């Protein structure tokens, strides 16, 4: 599956527009007016939200205009619309994002150290083509250096999970 | 509120009767000091001073980690306590904001999500004006505000927090009408006053000390039942003890002070609370702590157990009365 | 000159083996926290405070301030090599630093950054040395309307002219403004736009957003192009360094202008991040010829770096002399001062000359130490680029998330990084400019607060922004910066069109 620039433009415009709508809705709970002591708390979020919605609509419209122009040109034999992501790129990005998402979920469940070690080991093993033991060593080495820098030197606790608890590392 | 409170009072009473209970100690994880202000704020200094005394005097062996959670006027720290219910390795450092914030903002915690351990100091509030201002005493200032309602500007730190409450209390007591402008912190308000951008402020001694030393601002009166502790001359030949109390200067507010408090999450075993209370009591008797009090011109006051409970109840009731009169308590 | 004698006295205090050692240690630790995104200078400095209980205040402040300088230097390294700003104030350095490194000139980019940072810092310190008393009196003149005018000026200088589509610039700007209003509002005490999420109560952290937009966003672009870094690794060659240093005098105008902007933003509490953006914006407007900014122009590195460091050093002055910190790090150091028993304020210069002048003298030395040390660490970072992407890519991801977590120990921020990573990638691909979003997040809420305070003071009259010479001249300057470039652009276009018609 490939994504065209047209799709991407539309998705982004809808996303930013949605943020604008959220801001407007959130602001209406706060008072939008201009009281004797200046703007009420919802004043700025409300109007900035409206501006955001308007600008997003503009982007949406111009995406459609460009798209129609491009389809016209294409039917006249000119070059087709540039693809935003071809199939190969979608796969690459999807794989990377998937691993990253798994890392975040693992971190929430098992803590940052185990999450990072697993994530790095997996990438080195599957994507980098390293042997499994070496990959694991790289992952563990990374987590140990994180531990030394953050917890030992700077005394900043990072997120820990059940395994550290079992091992008695705090 | 009721059930837990009664349980708490009962617990503290039992402990006061039998202090020699089995010695509880936190496990060997680091103890987290959760500070309800940003780094560098008054509460932050309070927590870090205790941290330094605890480790320097060997009162507590655990390593201590300080976490600043000052978001939402400190609400972030109290929500954190709620999320870590029953965790005995977390101490929360705040002021009276712990029990006052839920009255003025819709927040997802109540005071019952934390239990008080001790209050270690009371920070005083003073009315300050610019050195060359026409107001010689608090009555001048109030008369001026009555003559021109809503024109005399009071600067303060944050909105609906201790400073604005005090200004509202002055208005309710005297019938004067001031204009209150909130800034981000006491230091900033001090400079706004020295620069003449506001007419007066209600800073804590520490927040205006530098400007007073330089003769840029001067105090009118202090909101305490008696005058502050004797000190060396700070500005000209004036020291803290030379500042009249507001009551003797003719403003009928007996006392308005901010406690510096330490809390733990709810549902902790009573031995744990007792352990921290004893540790904090040792801190309050140490040299390092006395230094801190003198340096920041706060009054030392170790409150725990029933005494603390009574103080909090009294402080909460009287402050909420001011909130109600101002219409801040929401729906 | 009284100040000169005092400075010499200060050097006497600062140059002891013990203090030199503290400077080296501070700068090195600062480099580490500066390089790691999220673990920034304010964080690092507050962690060192317990260590300083055993030191006397002068040694303690030398250690802390050296760490600050180190962090400022370290932040630029990752901006240039990986497009990940290690410190908020080095965001603007990515705009031209990273493209230059991609062209294979990473040594040149790093040297330019470090040297101009050093020069900026020296300019700032010279101002502190000569004008301490005058500058702190000047800072007293700033009330709420003047603050707003300063923020407005910073906005105007940066936004004035951009190459991106106006609607997209507007989207980016508005998004940043909305994000900056989330959380509790200082002036009204209301909780805004949290939609019931407690995690949003303290607002959306600027650092978390920047880590997502730049760090993760850039990695996604890298991955899409194949699993390789687009930045070409290059060994640091001493000859390259020297050649770049010889090239520096060519940018004298940019350097002086940026230094002045930094000094201005450091004293009027605008802060180093705003200073670097403003300086970059003005450098872009001032340049006429050559390749456009954003493609690796040397001035695009010199301008933000010089301003960043001169603002960083000048931020020490309002902190010491007024007790008002104009950067987050200065706020933490001020907390330290109070713990050591020193009261910041106008009298500090008179009552503790050893402390103040020892610190000022140490600033000269530790910034020079900083430039040397940071140049020495470049080979190490350049070597990082030679590690295969399959290993270094996930490591950078992990560091980004760790960095975001340390900002406020909140797991919610991990999701935010993921979301803003995607936003950064999409914005990048679709030519939405990121800079307005970042600047709006830095200044948006501060500007709104100052505006609101002014309105309370004036009972809702906008006239307060033109009520005295100081505030009116800043406002007029801001308006001019906002409008003039557009007029010139328009005029230029008209003139070009005339002959055709």
CATH number of the domain enclosing B170: 3.40.190.10
What's the pLDDT at A79? 62
Residue C305 has pLDDT above 90, yes or no: yes
- A71 with A136, same domain: the answer is no
B neighbours by CB contacts (3+ pairs under 8 Å): A, C
- Report residue B5's pLDDT band, with 50, 70 and 90 as the boundaries: low
What's the pLDDT at C335? 78
Which positions of chain A have pLDDT values less than 50? none
B240 and B128 in contact (C-beta within 8 Å)? no
- A80 with A92, same domain: the answer is no
What's the pLDDT at A170? 64
- A72 with A94, same domain: the answer is no
C neighbours by CB contacts (3+ pairs under 8 Å): A, B
SS (H, E, C) C79-118: HHHHCCCCCHHHHHHHHHHHHHHHCCCHHHHHHHHHHHHH
Contacts of B183 in chain C (CB under 8 A): 186, 453
- A81 with A7, same domain: the answer is yes
Cβ atoms within 10 A of the Cβ of B18, count? 7
- B301 with B223, same domain: the answer is no
- A73 with A138, same domain: the answer is no
Contacts of C45 in chain A (CB under 8 A): none
Residue C230 has pLDDT above 60, yes or no: no
B298 and B122 in contact (C-beta within 8 Å)? yes
Residue B311 has pLDDT above 80, yes or no: yes
Last residue of a domain, one of A28, A59, A85: A85
pLDDT (average), residues C173-185 = 92
Contacts of C175 in chain A (CB under 8 A): 16, 19, 52
Give whichever of B51-60, B169-178, C84-93 has the largest mean pLDDT: B169-178
What's the pLDDT at C47? 74
- B114 with B190, same domain: the answer is no
Contacts of B51 in chain C (CB under 8 A): 50
Given an 8 Å threshold on Cβ–Cβ distance, is A96 in contact with C427? no
- B117 with B148, same domain: the answer is no
What's the pLDDT at C223? 85
pLDDT digits (tens, 9 = 90+) for C427-444: 989 989 888 898 898 888
What's the pLDDT at B217? 94
The two tokens of residue B308 are 């603390």
Block residue for tokens 């700025």: A44
What's the pLDDT at B20? 42
C376 and C76 in contact (C-beta within 8 Å)? no
pLDDT over 70 for what percent of chain C? 92
Residue B8 has pLDDT above 60, yes or no: no
What one-character DSSP code corresponds to residue B41?
Answer: S
Answer with the residue of higher pLDDT: C406 or C465.
C465
Mutate which: B151, B191, B194, B290, vs C, most C CBs within 10 A:
B191
Given an 8 Å threshold on Cβ–Cβ distance, is B29 in contact with A170? yes
- B10 with B86, same domain: the answer is yes
What's the pLDDT at C165? 82
Given an 8 Å threshold on Cβ–Cβ distance, is B216 in contact with C189? no
Where would I find the beta strands (DSSP E) of A33-73? 34-35, 38-39
B28, B29, B65: residue with CB nearest A155: B65
- Report residue C191's pLDDT band, with 50, 70 and 90 as the boundaries: confident
CATH of the domain at B16: 3.40.190.150
Residue C184 has pLDDT above 90, yes or no: no
Structural domain of residue A120, as residue ranges? 87-167
Q: How far is A33 from chain B (nearest CA, A)?
A: 18
The two tokens of residue C257 are 């202008």
What's the pLDDT at C136? 76
pLDDT over 90 for what percent of chain C? 37
Mean pLDDT of chain C: 85
Chain C segment 37-76 residues within 8 A of B by beta carbon are: 42, 46, 49-50, 53
- A65 with A104, same domain: the answer is no
Q: What angle do CA B7, B8, B13 make, to 5 degrees?
A: 100
pLDDT (average), residues B196-218 = 92
What's the pLDDT at C270? 78
Structural domain of residue B101, as residue ranges? 2-123+258-326
pLDDT (average), residues B243-255 = 94
What's the pLDDT at C318? 83
Q: How far is A78 from chain C (nearest CA, A)?
A: 22
Give whichever of A66-70, B221-225, C155-159 has the largest mean pLDDT: B221-225
- A107 with A146, same domain: the answer is yes
Chain C segment 348-367 residues within 8 A of B by beta carbon are: 348, 351
- Report residue C336's pLDDT band, with 50, 70 and 90 as the boundaries: confident
B86 and B26 in contact (C-beta within 8 Å)? no
pLDDT (average), residues B13-36 = 68
Burial A109-144 (b: 16+ CB within 10 A, else e): ebbbbbbbbbbbbbbbbebbebeeeebbebbbebbe
- Report residue B160's pLDDT band, with 50, 70 and 90 as the boundaries: confident
Distance between CA atoms of residues B174 and B26, nearest Å: 50
Contacts of B210 in chain C (CB under 8 A): 322-323, 343-348
Compute CA C63 distance to the chain's CA centroid, rounded to the nearest angstrom.
21
What's the pLDDT at A11? 95
- B11 with B115, same domain: the answer is yes
What's the pLDDT at B9? 52
Domain count, chain A: 2
Last residue of a domain, one of A41, A61, A85: A85
C274 and C442 in contact (C-beta within 8 Å)? yes
Q: How far is CA B22 from CA B25, B26, B272, B274, in A?
A: 10, 13, 11, 11
Give the DSSP per-residue string, B95-147.
STHHHHHHHHS--S--GGGEEEEEEEEEEE-EEEEETT-S--SHHHHHHHHHH
How many residues can be counted in chain C? 501
Distance between CA atoms of residues C107 and C100, nearest Å: 9
- A43 with A99, same domain: the answer is no
Block residue for tokens 């300019």: C123
- A98 with A68, same domain: the answer is no
Q: How far is A30 from chain B (nearest CA, A)?
A: 12
The two tokens of residue C451 are 């505006």
Residue C160 has pLDDT above 80, yes or no: no
- Report residue C64's pLDDT band, with 50, 70 and 90 as the boundaries: very high
- Report residue C182's pLDDT band, with 50, 70 and 90 as the boundaries: very high
A22, A92, A120: residue with CB nearest C391: A120
Last residue of a domain, one of A70, A85, A100: A85
Distance between CA atoms of residues B27 and C398, nearest Å: 30
pLDDT digits (tens, 9 = 90+) for B255-310: 999 999 999 999 999 999 999 999 999 999 999 899 899 888 899 999 999 999 99
Distance between CA atoms of residues C328 and B30, nearest Å: 26
Distance between CA atoms of residues C377 and C114, nearest Å: 12
pLDDT digits (tens, 9 = 90+) for A97-134: 999 999 999 999 999 999 999 999 999 998 888 999 99
In sequence order, the 6+-apart residues with CB closer than 8 A to the CB of C2 are: none
Taking the CA atoms of B92, B261, B204 and B254 in sequence, report the sign of the dihedral they define.
positive
Q: How far is A119 from chain B (nearest CA, A)?
A: 27
pLDDT (average), residues C18-45 = 85
pLDDT (average), residues C290-319 = 89
Tally: H helices and E strands in chain C: 22, 2
Count of CA atoms in the C-beta half-sphere (13 A) of B298: 26
Residue C361 has pLDDT above 80, yes or no: yes
Q: How far is B304 from chain C (nearest CA, A)?
A: 25
What's the pLDDT at C81? 84
Give the DSSP H/E element, type plus range, for residue C75: helix C57-82
pLDDT (average), residues C78-83 = 85
- B156 with B224, same domain: the answer is yes
Residue B248 lies in a domain: no
Block residue for tokens 């300080």: B66
Give, rounded to a whole angstrom, the gap between the first and last alpha carbons of chain C: 65
Given CB atoms, is B65 within the 8 Å cutoff of chain C? no
The two tokens of residue A128 are 């980098």
- B54 with B29, same domain: the answer is yes
- B301 with B201, same domain: the answer is no
pLDDT (average), residues C37-53 = 75
The two tokens of residue C139 are 């800072």
pLDDT over 70 for what percent of chain B? 93
- B203 with B265, same domain: the answer is no
Where would I find the beta strands (DSSP E) of C191-317? 191-192
């Amino acid at each position: 599956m490939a994504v065209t620039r047209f799709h991407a433009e539309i998705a982004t415009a809808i996303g930013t527009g949605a943020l604008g709508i959220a801001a407007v809705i959130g602001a209406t709970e706060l008072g939008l007016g201009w009281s004797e002591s200046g703007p009420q708390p919802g004043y700025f979020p409300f109007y900035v939200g409206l501006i955001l919605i308007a600008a997003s609509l503009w982007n949406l419209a111009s995406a459609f205009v460009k798209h129609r122009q491009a389809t016209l040109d294409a039917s006249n034999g000119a070059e087709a619309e540039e693809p935003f992501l071809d199939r190969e790129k979608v796969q690459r990005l999807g794989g990377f994002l998937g691993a990253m998402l798994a890392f975040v979920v693992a971190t929430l469940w098992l803590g940052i150290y185990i999450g990072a070690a697993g994530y790095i080991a997996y990438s080195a093993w599957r994507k980098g083509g390293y042997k499994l033991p070496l990959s694991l060593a790289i992952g563990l080495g990374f987590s140990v250096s994180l531990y030394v820098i953050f917890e030992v030197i700077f005394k900043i606790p990072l997120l820990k999970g059940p395994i550290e608890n079992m091992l008695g590392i705090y | 509120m009721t059930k837990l409170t009664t349980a708490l009072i009962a617990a503290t009473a039992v402990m006061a009767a039998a202090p020699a209970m089995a010695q509880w100690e936190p496990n060997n994880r680091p103890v987290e000091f959760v500070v309800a202000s940003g780094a560098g704020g008054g509460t932050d200094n309070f927590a870090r001073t205790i941290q330094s005394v605890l480790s320097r005097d060997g009162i507590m062996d655990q390593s201590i980690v300080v976490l600043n959670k000052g978001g939402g006027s400190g609400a972030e720290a109290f929500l954190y306590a709620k999320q870590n219910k029953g965790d005995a390795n977390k101490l929360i450092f705040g002021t009276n904001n712990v029990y006052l914030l839920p009255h003025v903002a819709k927040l997802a915690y109540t005071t019952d999500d934390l239990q008080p351990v001790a209050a270690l100091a009371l920070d005083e509030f003073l009315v300050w004006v610019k050195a060359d201002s026409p107001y010689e005493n608090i009555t001048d200032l109030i008369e001026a505000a009555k003559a021109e309602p809503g024109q005399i500007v009071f600067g303060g730190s944050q909105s609906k927090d201790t400073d604005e409450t005090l200004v509202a209390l002055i208005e309710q007591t005297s019938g004067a009408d001031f204009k209150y402008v909130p800034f981000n912190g006491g230091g900033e308000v001090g400079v706004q006053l020295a620069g003449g951008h506001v007419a007066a402020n209600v800073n804590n001694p520490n927040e205006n000390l530098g400007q007073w030393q330089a003769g840029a601002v001067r105090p009118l009166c202090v909101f305490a039942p008696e005058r502050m502790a004797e000190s060396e001359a700070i500005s000209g030949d004036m020291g803290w003890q030379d500042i009249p109390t507001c009551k003797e200067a003719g403003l009928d507010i007996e006392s308005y002070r901010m406690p510096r408090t330490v809390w733990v999450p709810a549902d902790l075993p009573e031995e744990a609370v007792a352990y921290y209370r004893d540790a904090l009591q040792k801190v309050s008797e140490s040299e390092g702590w006395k230094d801190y009090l003198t340096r920041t011109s706060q009054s030392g006051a170790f409150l725990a157990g029933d005494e603390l409970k009574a103080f909090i109840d009294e402080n909460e009731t009287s402050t909420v009365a001011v909130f109600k009169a101002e219409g801040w308590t929401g729906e | 000159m009284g100040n000169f004698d005092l400075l010499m006295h200060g050097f006497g205090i600062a140059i002891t083996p013990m203090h030199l050692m503290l400077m080296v240690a501070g700068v090195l630790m600062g480099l580490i926290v500066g390089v790691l995104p999220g673990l920034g200078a304010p964080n690092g400095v507050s962690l060192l405070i317990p260590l300083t209980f055993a030191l006397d205040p002068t040694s303690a402040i030398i250690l802390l301030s050296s760490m600050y300088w180190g962090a400022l230097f370290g932040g630029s390294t990752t901006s240039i090599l990986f497009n990940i700003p290690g410190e908020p104030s080095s965001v603007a350095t990515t705009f031209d630093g990273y493209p230059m490194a991609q062209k294979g000139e990473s040594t040149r980019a790093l040297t330019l950054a470090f040297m101009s940072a050093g020069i900026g810092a020296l300019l700032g310190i010279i101002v502190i040395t000569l004008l301490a008393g005058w500058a702190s009196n000047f800072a007293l003149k700033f009330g709420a309307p003047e603050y707003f005018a300063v923020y407005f000026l910073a906005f105007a200088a940066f936004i004035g002219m951009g190459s991106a589509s106006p609607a997209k610039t507007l989207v980016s700007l508005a998004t940043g403004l909305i994000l900056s209003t989330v959380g509790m509002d200082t002036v009204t005490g209301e909780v805004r736009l949290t939609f019931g999420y407690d995690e949003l109560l303290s607002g959306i952290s600027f650092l978390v957003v920047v880590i997502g937009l730049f760090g993760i966003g850039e990695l996604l672009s890298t991955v899409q192009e194949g699993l390789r870094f687009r930045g070409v690794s290059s060994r640091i060659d001493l000859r390259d360094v020297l050649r770049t240093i010889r090239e520096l005098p060519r940018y004298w105008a940019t350097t002086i202008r940026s230094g002045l902007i930094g000094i201005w933003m450091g004293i009027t509490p605008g802060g180093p991040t705003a200073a670097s953006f403003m300086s970059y914006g003005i450098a872009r407007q001032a340049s006429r010829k050559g390749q456009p900014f954003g493609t690796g122009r040397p001035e695009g590195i010199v301008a933000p770096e010089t301003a960043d460091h001169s603002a960083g050093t000048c931020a020490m002055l309002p902190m010491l002399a007024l007790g008002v910190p104009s950067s987050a790090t200065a706020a933490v150091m001020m907390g330290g001062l109070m713990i050591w028993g020193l009261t910041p304020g106008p009298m500090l210069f008179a009552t503790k000359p050893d402390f103040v002048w020892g610190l000022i003298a140490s600033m000269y030395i530790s910034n020079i130490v900083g430039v040397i040390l940071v140049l020495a660490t470049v080979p190490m970072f350049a070597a990082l680029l030679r590690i295969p992407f399959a290993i270094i890519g996930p490591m950078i991801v992990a560091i980004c998330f760790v960095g975001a977590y340390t900002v406020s120990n909140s797991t919610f921020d991990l999701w935010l990084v993921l979301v803003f990573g995607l936003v950064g990638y999409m914005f990048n691909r679709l030519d939405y400019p990121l800079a307005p979003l970042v600047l709006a997040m830095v200044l948006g809420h501060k500007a709104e607060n100052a505006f609101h305070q002014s309105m309370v003071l004036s009972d809702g009259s906008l006239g307060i922004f033109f009520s005295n010479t100081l505030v009116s001249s800043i406002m007029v300057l801001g308006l001019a910066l906002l409008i003039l470039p557009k007029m010139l652009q328009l005029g230029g276009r008209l003139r070009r069109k005339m002959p055709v018609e």
